[in-house]
Amino acid sequence: MDKSWMSLGRLSKEYDDGVNAFLEFAQSNNPKSDVIPCPCVNCINLRPGSITSVRFHLFANGFDENYTVWSFHGEGSPKVEVRCPDESRLPEFDYTKEMLHDAFAYVEKEPDSLKSLLEECDKPLYEGSKHNALSGLMIFQKLKGQFGWSDTSFNALLGALKTVLPAKNTIPSSMYEAKKLLKGIGLEYEKIHACENDCVLFWNEHKDASECPTCGTSRWKKNTKNVPRKVLWYFPPIPRFRRMFSSPEIAHDLTWHAQGKVIDGKLTHPRDSPSWKLVDNTWKEFGRENRNLRLALSADGINPHKSLSSKHSCWPVTLITYNLPSYLCMSRKFIMLTLLISGPKQPGNNIDVYLAPLIADLKLLWETGVRTFDAYKKEYFNLRAVLLWTINDFPAYGNLSGCVTKGYNACPICSDNTCSQWLPKSRKVCFLGHRRFLSLKHPLRKRKKDFNNEQENDVPKKPLSGEEIYEHLAGFQNTWGQKIKSKTEKSKKKSSKKKKEIIDERAKFWHKKSIFFELEYWKKLLVRHQLDVMHIEKNVCESVYGTLLNLPNKTKDGLKARQDLEDLGIKPELQTQVKGNRLYLPPAIYTLNSSEKHQFYDTLSNIKVPDGYSSNFKNLVSDDVSKMNGLKSNDCHVLMQQLLPFAIKGVLNVKVRKTIIDLCHFFNELCSKVVDVSKLSKLQSNIVSTLCLLEKYFPPSFFDVMIHLMVHLVREVRLCGPVHFRWMYPFERFMKILKGYVRNHHRPEGCIAESYVAEEALEFWSTYLKNGGSIGNPHERDDERIRTGKPLSGATVDVVDTKILDEAHLYVLRNTAAVEPYTE
């Protein structure tokens, strides 16, 4: 049937005739019902209607031009190459050739590998099977990846299948043969040799060099010719971006950020943030194309060996795409591994050497773009991308940004305005002076005795912008490598005193000029590197409960901390006292006695939480009040935001308890999935007041840089959006998956690279299956008893009195969003 009328004007005679023909066709295929799905632009077959209402919609709204196969109205599935999300699917095995066509159409591959795979598609798995050799193997491989089977067990399974299946089956008999068959589907990676001392990559102009041009170290291992000393595993992101657009469903999801925007003063996604809008408003041509990608980068070190005592550290560098819906963009399936820096030593500040290939591709994606086929709209377009920020823990923050994260100027936001001082007895730097963040008329500014015996008159400076940092680092000379400088550097003349003074002054705050400044837009971004809330919250939580419980190696109080009070001349009630031949530490209002500690532990051990919510705290605490070990990051997250206010109820001084509860409420509100911009100013003033009260009660040794960084977290929420799009939790989970790929501990990076590429191919193939599922997006766990219909275990019935029922009712009301306006 001719369908060209769908794109014509709705006032034309051809359109009128076409609508009548369509309605007749739909009625003839559905004679028993007067209701049919409406294919107009607004309804898109999701809302049924009468023939009259459908006709009205088609003239009022227009016919959905993407609905070229009328499968909802009786037309059979076509035998075409391109799929649409609304089309009814063929049996799974019929899509193997289509998957191969898409895998080779938009990515550069050798034609011989496509030919061999197509030949496998023509072979049945066994005589009479509905699966071919390739689709059958892919199903087994998907199960292997989904449940984490080892290569040895899968090799044994293939051998058993070879025997059990009917004669003349085409299943591979070993894992080696299976890998050879599946290699053509996955995307390839590049191995780039590197200097052992992190001086340079043997790449581009140094591709054919046999030794490092900086330190002179040989490229090859001793007594070998072709075995490099160190390797960088590079997974080019551009082919992976193209493959994402080759799936109609994913291509449609990549424009989600531009659909259904609501301007209500709430931040629910980075698309609502000023940082996102800055890109759209500054580079309007880039912002007009909704398919252009907004990316974030994360780098962190992992120990690929199971032994925690091993010092081996390899560094994966990953990318995420914020174009996707909220529930997808941080999922395992869409976390893209781009670099794998081999160990055993971490790169440190020399990580820029290894980032060079990735930065080159990001520059290409920004300046020129790459021609990409959109399978949803069935058209080619020029794909571009922008890197919004990096997400790392605090040490990696310093490595990527180049700024100092230790010592007196450890705060990268305050920079030269950091208020810090040295504690001689504790031998550490503390960060006090949070009163300067208060309003000028706040009464705490004039309090002397409770703080440092001085009034506070300073105000915080505005953080340096990216352009100011870029100008400040103009001419900064980066030096790479872990060993001594090269001979050519030694022979150079010494710089003038003036130049040397400038370099020394900048070295107080910067180790290097970051390679990210090679990106044209980097200096104009509002926030370039994110403070990781996950690690900050974990460190703050450990400092709080470690000090309250006086846990060894975790408490911030002790003899040295009290002696520092004497040197500073503050808090005389907490200073050490001499009683006879002994030195006595007066009890502080934040310390718990033995009975209070037991009450604290009993509260935690008796709390019951939903399955998978956190660890069982009963296993983390013991009768020994000096122990509380094994808390993971998520346990600290739950403890800080939910459980700590209950645990300290009735066991602490009222003022200290209220301050700690305010600290817990700060993290609870900060991590909200929906952020009300109008409440951020109040949240900022609350955390500043809380930090000042902590200074009043706790010793200076309590205030490390993690405590101080809390004062800057609200600023980043205001500029970049909700926290759960910018913390390390999804990346840490992905690191665990990468560690699970390691089978051969002599070649951990090779195992990770091969397993990642194999899983990537399986994820691509699963998008072509009906109900194929995904390795990266597993289904939620459900109770086996509910799913199978088995009865639940026996229960005991308790009669709840009216008082407890009223308290529970009041608690629910106080924690319901709809009641908040009435409460205020």
* Residue range 629-670, pLDDT digits in tens: 778 999 999 999 999 998 998 888 899 999 999 999 999 999
DSSP state of 325: -
* Structural tokens at position 533: 């809330």
* Structural tokens at position 564: 């520092």
Bridge-based pairing of strands 230-234 and 190-194 is antiparallel
State the average pLDDT for the chain: 84
Q: Over 50: is that where the pLDDT of 486 sits?
A: no
Report which of residues 632 and 84 the model is more confident about: 632
Q: What is the pLDDT at residue 92?
A: 42
Which 3 state secondary structure label does DSSP give 389?
strand
DSSP state of 295: E
Report which of residues 80 and 600 the model is more confident about: 600
Contacts 24+ apart (CB under 8 A), 461-465: 461/414, 461/417, 463/413, 463/414, 463/415, 463/715, 464/415
Q: What is the pLDDT at residue 63?
A: 84
For the chain, the domains span 4-73, 92-182, 533-725
Q: What is the pLDDT at residue 625?
A: 66
Report d(CA 145, CA 140) in Å as an integer: 9
- HSE-CB at 634 with a 13 A cutoff on CA atoms is 11
* Structural tokens at position 20: 């009548």
Ramachandran angles phi, psi of 218, nearest 5°: -65, 145
Report CA torsion sign: 300, 306, 308, 311.
negative
Q: Over 70: is that where the pLDDT of 308 sits?
A: no
Mean pLDDT, range 117-141, rounded to an integer: 76
* Structural tokens at position 782: 């459900």
* Count, residues in the chain: 824
Report d(CA 770, CA 95) in Å as an integer: 10
Lowest mean pLDDT among 163-167, 181-185, 335-339: 181-185
Asked whether the beta carbons of 1 and 29 are under 8 A apart, the reply is: no
Residues 6+ away with beta carbon under 8 Å from 677 = 265, 266, 267, 718
* Structural tokens at position 768: 């072509």
Which 3 state secondary structure label does DSSP give 776?
coil
Residues 6+ away with beta carbon under 8 Å from 555 = 546, 547, 549
Report which of residues 683 and 57 the model is more confident about: 683
Q: Over 70: is that where the pLDDT of 376 sits?
A: yes
- Mean pLDDT: which of 142-151, 210-219, 617-626, 771-780 is highest? 210-219
Mean pLDDT, range 536-555, rounded to an integer: 92
The H-or-E segment that residue 339 falls in is strand 336-341
CA nearest 182: which of 759, 680, 768? 759
pLDDT band with cut points at 50, 70 and 90 for residue 83? very low
The H-or-E segment that residue 621 falls in is none
* Residues 565-595 pLDDT 10s: 999 989 888 888 888 888 888 889 998 888 8
Alpha helices in 639-709, H assignment, sequence order: 644-647, 654-670, 680-697, 705-709
* Residues 442-472 pLDDT 10s: 999 888 888 888 888 899 999 999 999 999 9
CA nearest 384: which of 517, 241, 508? 241
Report d(CA 242, CA 803) in Å as an integer: 62
Q: What is the pLDDT at residue 485?
A: 47
Which 3 state secondary structure label does DSSP give 431?
strand
Q: What is the pLDDT at residue 127?
A: 80
- Mean pLDDT: which of 7-16, 153-162, 773-782, 788-797 is highest? 153-162
User: Which residue shows structure tokens 């900086």?
Assistant: 214
Report d(CA 531, CA 539) in Å as an integer: 13
Ramachandran angles phi, psi of 91, nearest 5°: -55, 155
Burial of 810 (0-12, 13-18, 19+ CB in 10 A): exposed
Q: What is the pLDDT at residue 297?
A: 96
Report which of residues 136 and 412 the model is more confident about: 412
CA distances from 109 to 103, 118, 192 (A): 9, 14, 20
* Structural tokens at position 580: 């006879």
Ramachandran angles phi, psi of 228, nearest 5°: -75, 155
Residues pairing with 628 in the sheet:
621
* Structural tokens at position 53: 């209402």
Neighbours of 761 (CB within 10 A): 22
Burial 533-561 (b: 16+ CB within 10 A, else e): bbbbbbbbbbbbbbbbbbbeeebbbbeeb
Q: What is the pLDDT at residue 201?
A: 92
CA nearest 527: which of 481, 465, 435? 465
CA nearest 631: which of 567, 744, 700, 554? 554
Report d(CA 752, CA 381) in Å as an integer: 33
Q: What is the pLDDT at residue 81?
A: 39
- Mean pLDDT: which of 143-147, 248-252, 666-670 is highest? 666-670
Q: What is the pLDDT at residue 79?
A: 41
CA distances from 381 to 148, 149, 250, 373 (A): 38, 40, 16, 6
The H-or-E segment that residue 420 falls in is strand 420-423
Q: Over 90: is that where the pLDDT of 7 sits?
A: no
Beta strands in 35-189 (DSSP E): 35-37, 48-50
CA distances from 291 to 67, 230, 255, 524, 721 (A): 21, 37, 6, 22, 21
Q: Over 80: is that where the pLDDT of 506 sits?
A: no
Report d(CA 725, CA 324) in Å as an integer: 12
Report d(CA 222, CA 784) in Å as an integer: 57
Asked whether the beta carbons of 264 and 406 are under 8 A apart, the reply is: no
Report d(CA 291, CA 251) in Å as an integer: 8
Q: Over 90: is that where the pLDDT of 518 sits?
A: yes
Asked whether the beta carbons of 270 and 391 are under 8 A apart, the reply is: no
Burial of 18 (0-12, 13-18, 19+ CB in 10 A): buried
Residues 6+ away with beta carbon under 8 Å from 517 = 470, 473, 523
* Structural tokens at position 54: 């459908």
pTM: 0.80
